[in-house]
Chains A and B, each alone.
Chain A
Amino acid sequence: MAVRHLRGIADVGVEGLLRLLDLTDHMAEVGRRANPKVPALRGRTVCNLFFEDSTRTRMSFDTAAKRLSADTMTLAVGSSSVNKGESLRDTVETLEAMGVDAFVIRHRSSGVPWRISEWSDASVINAGDGWHQHPTQALLDLYTIRSERAARGAEGFEGLRVGIVGDIRHSRVARSLTEALGLLGASVLHIGPRTLMPPTPLAPSTDDLDAALADLDIVYLLRMQLERIDSAVVPSGEEYSRRFALTPERAGRLGEDVLVMHPGPMNRGVEITVDPARLTGSVITQQVTNGIAARMAVLFDLLGGVDTDGGSAAVGSGVVGL
């Protein structure tokens, strides 16, 4: 089924997630070549539209596009007046007039990619909107889970027990990952204090990390924004760490094959007080590496198919490039 946008996990569904994971395998292989670049998206233009600073994600997308030979434009609006949103539509329409096939959008406000997809004919890829969705992060996380578990002799997502620890309420990473894991049959537990949970739970939740730890296959730590501590959502960073950080003591109780993940950047001393390099289960660096391949897969899936005005055949119809 042809997918035009990746704004949220719902845009692709189970079938799309599995297809993207398989494509990521190919892209990871490209990344291991002496010349990690393929001509697949020659002549396509990808515009990185970052209304919120995120050097890491922007570079990951930019590298992904370049490895597929797409042309890239980058507009890092950051804190300028456009960030207030007064001329979002004008900005998008101006850029589109320059010939953009896909917008990669990061914005501090939830929902902006949905609005832009109404104003533009280009594909829209959500690189993080407000507290809402961050689907490429979820994809790279799923890919990391799949490949790292395969390396440890385990397969599939069905029945996998994933604990997401920390600020669920304000986390687009948690929303996308919870939704994606749910679609794939994993069971997700949200772990954190009530003040950091969404008003209506998106998954079963607990505030007892120590009790939950024994029953997890994956511990996914979220970044704890220090400004949340300032706004009295939790009493102090120290108390947060005591209750919810991965401490050396807690790490010691993790099973052999339990994976430890984090979307980065880490707040060492807040959500993690153990050196991840000393954790056998840490796959945090693999997450970063896989980010490029996952984003290549998304770009190729959206832009490498049949031109939307080119006829009836759908991507994935089974005809193989022979």
Chain B
Amino acid sequence: MTEGKRVLGPDDVRRATTRMAHEIIERNRGLDRVVLIGLQRGGVWLAERLGEEIARIGDPVPVGSLDISLHRDDIGRRPVVPGSVSSLPSEIDGARVVLVDDVLYTGRSVKAALDALNDYGRPDSVQLAVMVDRGHRELPIRPDFVGKNLPTSLGESVEVDHEGVVIIDASDTDAHDEGDR
């Protein structure tokens, strides 16, 4: 992880993950037809961790990943390199989808994910789980499950993995061009 201000450590991330798993189970009583879908690339590990936690606490749920690069609204403005090929674990029609991402920022990635999801079918509902909500939304999107609310300035970027959360002063780069960080 790059140098910067560490705001969460590994234990914080583990605790937040466990709490979010509980909240997901609670909200979706019984976990019937729940599918966790991580947004590539930052959301995939978190979806897997949430999946493990949920399986430990309750029942196992399918976990998949979604590549949204072909759905972004800023193609042509910045380099686009798709991640891995999308892999959805089950039927989307009628499912209760929980989209999972590491950082919620402008909301554009989530919007793209909602668009992409539509191409696979019509879910009953879609919820959003993120490890960090750093504010600065540009679209009417809000998370259902949040690991940590983290006020940031536009000049900063946020890096998340299971080791923790770090804020980096990236004022010399255009924060918007870095995506939802």
Q: How far is the CB of A63 from chain B (nearest CB, A)?
A: 16
Across the interface, A38 reaches (CB within 8 A) one of B101, B103, B119, namely B119
The one of B68, B70, B116 that contacts A300, using a Cβ cutoff of 8 Å: B70
Interface size on B, residues (CB 8 A): 37
Q: For A313, what are the chain B residues with a Cβ–Cβ distance below 8 Å?
A: 78-79
Q: Determine whether the beta carbon of B77 is less than 8 Å from that of A315.
A: no
Q: Which residue of B lies closest to A30 (CB)?
A: B70
A321 touches B76 (CB 8 A): no
> Chain A: which residue is nearest B72 at the CB level?
A321
A310/B76 in contact, CB under 8 A? yes
A29-B86, A321-B179 are contacts. A315–B81 as well, Cβ < 8 Å? yes
A304 on the interface (CB 8 Å rule)?
Answer: yes
* B28 → chain A closest CB, angstroms: 24
- Judged by a CB distance under 8 angstroms, whether A18 is at the interface is no
B78 touches which of A29, A306, A318 (Cβ 8 Å)? A306
Chain B residues within 8 Å of A300, by CB = 70
Contact flags B57-88 to A (C-beta < 8 A → 1, else 0): 00000000001111111011111111101100
Main secondary structure of the interface of B (DSSP, over half): loop
B residues 15-50 with Cβ under 8 Å of A?
Answer: 39-42
| Residues 288-322 (chain A) with a chain B CB within 8 angstroms | 300, 304-307, 310, 313-322
* B153 contact set on A, CB distance < 8 A: none
A322/B180 contact (C-beta < 8 A), A40-B70, A40-B71 known: yes
B120 CB contacts on chain A under 8 angstroms: 33-35
Cβ of A306 and Cβ of B79 under 8 Å apart?
Answer: yes
- Cβ contact within 8 Å between A26 and B121: no
A101 smallest CB distance to B (angstroms): 10
Cα A52 to Cα B11 with chains together (Å): 65
A105 contacts partner chain B, Cβ-Cβ < 8 Å: no
Is B70 touching A320 in the complex (CB atoms < 8 A)?
A: no
Q: Is the interface of A mostly helix, strand, loop or mixed?
A: loop
Q: Which B residues, 110 to 153, have Cβ-Cβ distances below 8 Å to chain A? A: 115-116, 118-121
- Is A199 close to B, CB under 8 A? no
CB distance from A154 to the nearest CB of B (A): 20
User: Which residues on A sit within 8 Å (CB–CB) of B72?
Assistant: 40, 321
Shortest beta-carbon distance from A206 to chain B in Å? 39
Q: 1/0 per residue A233-246: CB within 8 Å of B?
A: 00000000000000
Complex: A249 Cα to B51 Cα, angstroms? 54
Complex CA distance for A23 and B84, rounded to whole angstroms: 10
Q: State the CA gap A28–B70 with chains docked (Å).
A: 13
Tell me the A193-242 residues at the B interface (CB within 8 Å). none
**Residue on B nearest A43 in the bound complex, by CB:** B76
Contacts of B121 in A (CB 8 A): 34
B119 near A306 (CB under 8 angstroms)? no
- Chain B residues, Cβ within 8 Å of A34: 119-121
- Residues from chain A with a CB closer than 8 A to the CB of B96 are none
Complex CA gap A37/B118 in Å reads: 11
Known A37-B119, A39-B71, A300-B70: A316·B85 in contact at CB below 8 Å: no
CA distance A34 to B118 in the complex (A): 9
CB of A26 within 8 A of CB of B67, answer yes
Add 14 more A-B contacts to A26-B85, A322-B180 (CB < 8 A).
Answer: A26-B67, A34-B121, A35-B118, A37-B119, A38-B116, A40-B71, A41-B75, A304-B75, A304-B76, A305-B76, A305-B80, A321-B72, A321-B80, A321-B109
User: What are 18 inter-chain pairs, A to B, with CB distance below 8 A?
Assistant: A22-B82, A28-B85, A29-B67, A30-B70, A34-B119, A34-B121, A304-B70, A306-B79, A307-B76, A307-B77, A313-B78, A317-B81, A318-B81, A319-B78, A320-B81, A321-B68, A321-B72, A322-B181
B binding-site residues for A, Cβ under 8 Å:
39-42, 67-73, 75-83, 85-86, 101-103, 109, 115-116, 118-121, 177-181
Which A residues lie at the B interface, using CB under 8 A?
22-23, 25-26, 28-30, 33-41, 68, 300, 304-307, 310, 313-322
